[in-house]
Amino acid sequence: MGGALLTLFLVSLAVFSISLLMGGDAAEAILGQSATPEALAGLRASMNLNAPPYLRYLEWAGGLLRGHLGTSLITGLPIAEMILPRLASSLQLAGLTALVSVPFALTLGIIAAVKRGSFLDRAISMATIGIVSVPEFLIATIAVLIFAVTLHWLPALSSSRDIFSVTDLIRVFAMPVMTLSCVVVAQMIRMTRAAVCDALDSSYVEAARLKGVSPARLVLGHALPNAIGPIANAIALSLSILLGGVIVIEVIFNYPGIARLMVDAVSTRDLPLIQTVAMIFSATYLMLVTVADIVAILANPRLRHR
Amino acid sequence: MTTSIPITPAPRKGVRPRFSLVLGAVIVGFWLVVAVLGPMVAPHSPGQVVDLDVFSPMSSAFPLGSDYLGRDVLSRMLVAARYTVFIALIATLIAAACGIFCGLVAASGGWPDAVLSKVFDTVNAIPSLMFGLVVIASLGASTTVLIGTLALVFTPGAFRTARALALNVTALDFVTVARARGERLPYIVVREILPNVLGPLAADFGLRFVFVTLLLSGLSFLGLGVQPPIADLGALVRENIAGLGFGSSAVLVPAFAIASLTIGMNLLIDAVSARRAGGGR
């Protein structure tokens, strides 16, 4: 816990100091071409840009902690107002993806580990290597090509606004969720398989097998509980990949999520907005990792006394 | 820390590893040759509009068709492949060099270990694409910034692997013997530890090259990577995305080119690490 908070603090330092590297400052960015030296000086004073960096950092970080996210340079709107609806729709997408991909990946990973060396195992491992090495946008474009262009089953663009029924929900989310799942699932299957294989190779599983325990109980009752720690880690890591993958997916499907807001902010160099979104993503990542650590400790009493 | 990397079961001996070794080597070798020689054999100038039609299909005049402005896709591909391969290669080399150096330093323990581990944990806690976006938003998207960002994003991974591997080896008897002989630290690191971790480090290098290529292509696809007038494979996909609707080769060929490069590299790594005493990922 303490470690994660320290890391979050260091991340905020890093994100803030990168913005110091930017040539010019926020005042120049706002005024653009029409900047006169007087206007620049005035704006700098009103935005407190003349203060030394550490004071500005304290102000920025303190604001984040109290929920004051600042205002966007480009639109002038409060950042919190811009982010909230976008964050909600991104979470919707990520949540649905996790709901689909986690059970799917765990099942396939466990099956591959149990049937180690079989044709099925090899097929799964070939498929995961293939998917891991392919860029997200290739999977997405192929999906659009097949389902939207050729078959006309699904719309090529997704918007959560025109959802009136379950069918609408499926139609809108099918392709983004499918593509994102592909990205996430491969890594998760590989790591689950490795964890379960490790557990199956251990001497207590060997002993249980010699005792005559049925294969199903061997896997579910003996091997799996001991693989929960690594599997929780695999899930956390994969979901953090989801955070990155979501950026490309939202752009391709024109999905109004937070990642697209981020990409737009980068092209307009709207730094306050970028910093806030980066902090949200990093905090989410750290939270996932911490939860995975806690699950691992709960699942393995030996870790409690380290 | 003895088994930090999961060991897969006994390698499947026989045709498959050798087949994927050859296939992987051929694909990766092909792209290296294209990256070095490609621009010299390009039939047209990559920026020149040579076709009156746009998104025309493959023909004898234009083997890979033409793009959204009527430029020759083959010529653009040959030049773009050079950017993708070289930018990814340079970034991976920098990341691996920094990561291995810091990893070996950290493996000798003490406060450098604590500091380095914390620093790299921090960099790792920012999702890689997000990190790239923040840096590029601040510094602008030049090729130098791009290489630096990619290298920085993937140094922590290289660091972690190098550190874990070195720690495993440090615990072995021959290192203790070398220490007892009174060898100096640089000698122990260079002559005793490094040769024993070179194989896994090479596999890690390949894997990191794959990640770098994917991130670079992703950034370029978002329009935040390599900037016009030059284009890498990801940028080619982006500028021709309008052709997707009718399956134009201008968008499909670069997309599949990236995939073939990364899959080839993965096959190569898997085959090489399967050969090495059954270890692998």
In chain B, the DSSP E strands lie at none
Which pLDDT score, from 0 to 100, does residue A29 have? Answer: 63
DSSP A266-291: HHHT-HHHHHHHHHHHHHHHHHHHHH
Burial of B232 (0-12, 13-18, 19+ CB in 10 A): buried
CB B216 within 8 A of CB B150: yes
Interface contact flag, A137 B265, Cβ < 8 Å = no
Evaluate if pTM is beyond 0.90: no
Q: What does the pLDDT average to over A153-178?
A: 70
What DSSP character marks residue A35? Answer: -
Burial A35-48 (b: 16+ CB within 10 A, else e): eeeeebeebbeebe
Q: Which residue of A has its CA nearest to B215?
A: A135
With 90 as the cut, is the pLDDT of residue A38 above it?
no
Name chain A contacts of B263, Cβ cutoff 8 Å.
129-130, 133-134
Question: Smallest Cα–Cα separation from B20: which of B279, B277, B265?
Answer: B265
Structure tokens at B37: 């020689």
Which pLDDT score, from 0 to 100, does residue A26 have? Answer: 62
* Spatial distance between the Cα atoms of A220 and A158, rounded to a whole number of angstroms: 39
CB-nearest to B122 from A10, A267, A278 is A10
Interface contact flag, A281 B126, Cβ < 8 Å = yes
For B60, the 3-state DSSP assignment is: coil
With 70 as the cut, is the pLDDT of residue A50 above it?
no
* Spatial distance between the Cα atoms of A142 and A140, rounded to a whole number of angstroms: 5
Torsion of CA A141, A143, A148, A154, to 10 degrees: -130
Q: What does the pLDDT average to over A115-123?
A: 85
With 90 as the cut, is the pLDDT of residue A58 above it?
no
CB A72 within 8 A of CB A262: no
Which pLDDT score, from 0 to 100, does residue A46 have? Answer: 67
For B56, the 3-state DSSP assignment is: coil
Q: Which residue of B has its CA nearest to A141?
A: B244
Name chain B contacts of A265, Cβ cutoff 8 Å.
137
Which pLDDT score, from 0 to 100, does residue A190 have? Answer: 83
Q: Which is it for the CA torsion A84, A85, A90, A91, positive or negative?
A: positive
* Spatial distance between the Cα atoms of A21 and A12, rounded to a whole number of angstroms: 15
* Spatial distance between the Cα atoms of B155 and B149, rounded to a whole number of angstroms: 10
CB B156 within 8 A of CB B123: yes
Q: Which residue of B has its CA nearest to A23?
A: B139
Chain A closest-CA separation from residue B61 CA (Å) = 26
For B190, the 3-state DSSP assignment is: helix
**Residues in a beta bridge with A71:** A78
CB A227 within 8 A of CB A198: yes
CB pairs under 8 A between A and B: 147
Interface test with B, best of A19, A133, A231, A270 (most B CBs within 10 A): A133
Interface test with A, best of B124, B129, B272 (most A CBs within 10 A): B129
Structure tokens at A60: 């920025």
pLDDT tier at A11 (50, 70, 90 boundaries)? confident
Amino acid identity, residue A75?
T
Look up the ipTM and state it: 0.74
Q: Which residue has the higher pLDDT, A153 or B239?
A: B239
Interface contact flag, A134 B262, Cβ < 8 Å = yes
Interface contact flag, B222 A263, Cβ < 8 Å = yes
Mean pLDDT is lowest, of A36-40, A112-116, A295-299, for A36-40
CB B232 within 8 A of CB B87: yes
Chain A closest-CA separation from residue B127 CA (Å) = 6
Which pLDDT score, from 0 to 100, does residue A28 have? Answer: 67
- Angle, alpha carbons B251-B254-B255 (nearest 5°): 80
For B72, the 3-state DSSP assignment is: strand
* pLDDT under 50: residue ranges of chain B: 1-15, 277-281
Interface test with B, best of A18, A138, A205, A306 (most B CBs within 10 A): A138
* Spatial distance between the Cα atoms of A305 and A147, rounded to a whole number of angstroms: 53
